[in-house]
Structure 1
Amino acid sequence: MSDHRWSPRSPVAALARFVGVPFDAQTYRNLAYLLLAFPLGIAYFTVVTTGLSTGLGLLVTFAGVPIVLATLVVTLGISSFERRLADHLLDVEVDGDDGGIELAFGSVEEAIGTTKRVLTAPAAWTGLLLVGLKFVYGVVAFTALVTAFAVSATLLAAPALYDAPGVTYTFGPYVVDTLGEAVAGGGLGVLLVLVSLHVTNGVARFGGFLTDALLGGAARSAEAADA
């Protein structure tokens, strides 16, 4: 007779998954992905918007053409890096390969061919959209992480600090001044950590889905057009 208590959908298994999230290595890879999203999003956005604004502003003199082209090449590099990041940290395999675009500028014909290849690469354009979304995603994810874990740390520290000399331990409008309140706050902190880690995993999975939808979708569309 099978033991239904441990079936994948049983309450016991669900509770084990909920409590076991801090012991799952993928949780920390997801955290690393989210923490990297903030500085990467700012760096991507700064470089690409600076390149595009400068290049587009100089298009009338034709000096902007190589700047715009260089910016799109950088965007292709960003797309390639984001594919690898999703693969290594989120275990999400995104279709496509940006490294196969040949860049050659030895002659006018080669420069024209390179320009055509870059301009017709789907990832050059979906990558621009990814850069904008990554900036927003990184800011939101970082803000949510800092807020959730700052609140959790405040609650977890209550049993140790609530009666420290010269300290008035408050949580919002509430003053914690008894051991019972401090222990309750610590327990709530543990619960909030677990919930925050599950939310973190969900936000990271959404980031992987977003990357696959933009970059993998572009690759699949290109393959369908060539078929």
Structure 2
Amino acid sequence: MEMSTAETTGSPETLRGLGRRFLGAPVRAQTYKNLLYLLLAFPLGIAYFVGLLTGGTIGVGLLLTWVGLPILLGTLAAAAAVAGFEAHLARRLVGVEAAVPAFLRDLDVREGIALPGDGFLAAVKRLVTAPSTWTAVVLLLAKFVFGLVSFVAVVTSASVTAALLAAPFVYDAPAETISFLGSAPSGAYTVGSWVVTTLPQALAVAAAGVVFLFVALNLLNALARFHALYTAKLLRIGNRP
């Protein structure tokens, strides 16, 4: 049975919807929530990595004195709590539903002490045996890499966009003006290897900047959603309602 052209290439409504989504990126509030999510990933990723490395190293180093065990358990509990915060960020900023780790979901507040289960030992067992506790650790370690990638992506996109869009305003600036992303003789304005010396050239560069802006924002939206979905998938492992 042959498929229709609409089925193989996408319906006009679908294509129009994709076009509106692509062109609407700069004016959607969700775009700027996604950018905030990406920008927060860098400092948070560093904090998570340092915290896990410090807690894990000290805990393992002091295991022979038994002091290390509560440090390791505290590090695991903190990792679960922070993963719950990451699930909250994914929901509030990106709109992706992510479950908190099982250890947090089962917390019972008793006389000011939060314990899941029937006591301290049950709480420790729940913490150590819940798969979502360990996927939380993986998530926080991965956050460092994701934060670095996100920071580079956002800063590079902003820098390139600014350099391109600024061309009509600064292409004929004095020779002392520093060019963006490149160098050129006689202080001419450059973007990479593109030397801009006339207004038509500057307008063409700015037009390229507009196109780049739309592409960059849509790619950054996709990056934010990818990480939020990755967060949700990791925390879903072994974390049944």
Question: Which residue of structure 2 lines up, in the alignment, with residue 184 of structure 1?
Answer: 204
Cα deviation per residue 1:86-107 (whole Å; 9 max; x = unaligned)? 110111111345243358599x
Count of matched residue pairs: 214
Report matched runs for 1:203-214 at 5 Å. Answer: 203-214=223-234
Percent identical across equivalent pairs?
Answer: 43
Indicate which of 2, 14, 22 corresponds to 1:18. Answer: 22
Q: CA deviation at 1:181?
A: 0.9
- 1:84 equivalent among 75, 85, 88: 88
Partners of 1:90 and 1:75 in 2: CA distance: 21
Distance 1:76 1:13 in 2: 39
Q: TM-score, normalised by structure 2?
A: 0.82
| Structure 2 equivalent of residue 197 of structure 1 | 217
> Is the CA contact 2:33–2:93 (under 8 Å) kept in the aligned structure 1?
yes
Alignment correspondent of 2:169? 160
Instruction: Please state how far the C-alpha of 1:42 moved relative to its aligned partner.
Output: 0.7
In terms of fraction of residues, the more helix-rich structure is 1
Q: Residues of 2 paired with 1:74 and 1:122: CA distance? A: 15
Which residue of structure 1 aligns with residue 63 of structure 2?
59
Distance (Å, rounded) in 2 between the aligned partners of 1:140 and 1:148: 12
After superposition, the Cα gap between the structure-2 partners of 1:205 and 1:38, relative to the gap in structure 1 and judged at 3 Å, is same
After superposition, where does 1:53-132 map in structure 2 within 5 Å?
53-96=57-100, 98-102=104-108, 110-132=119-141
Q: Is the 8 A contact 1:152 1:189 kept in 2?
A: yes
Secondary structure of the equivalent of 1:170?
strand
Is the contact between residue 80 and residue 99 of structure 1 (CA under 8 Å) also seen in structure 2?
A: no
Q: Check conservation: 1:101, 1:118, Cα contact below 8 A.
A: no
Matched, 1:8 2:31: no
Which consecutive unaligned segments of at least 5 residues does structure 1 have? none
Instruction: State the alpha-carbon separation in 2 of the partners of residues 53 and 142 from structure 1.
Output: 27
Question: Mean Cα displacement is larger for which, 88-97 or 69-78?
Answer: 88-97
Structure 1: how far apart are the matches of 2:22 and 2:98?
28
Change beyond 3 A, Cα 1:102–1:67: farther
Gapped runs of 5+ residues in structure 2? 1-5, 178-187
> Aligned partner of 1:18: which letter?
F
Partner of 1:145: 154
Superposition deviation, residue 123 in structure 1: 2.3
Tell me the TM-score normalized by structure 1.
Answer: 0.86
**Match of 1:27?**
31
C-alpha displacement of 1:112: 2.6
Asked whether the equivalents of residues 94 and 212 of structure 1 are also in contact (C-alpha less than 8 Å), the reply is yes
Q: Deviation of residue 14 (structure 1)? A: 3.6
CA contact (8 A) 2:165 2:207 kept: yes
* 2:145 alignment counterpart: 136
Shift of 1:174: 2.5
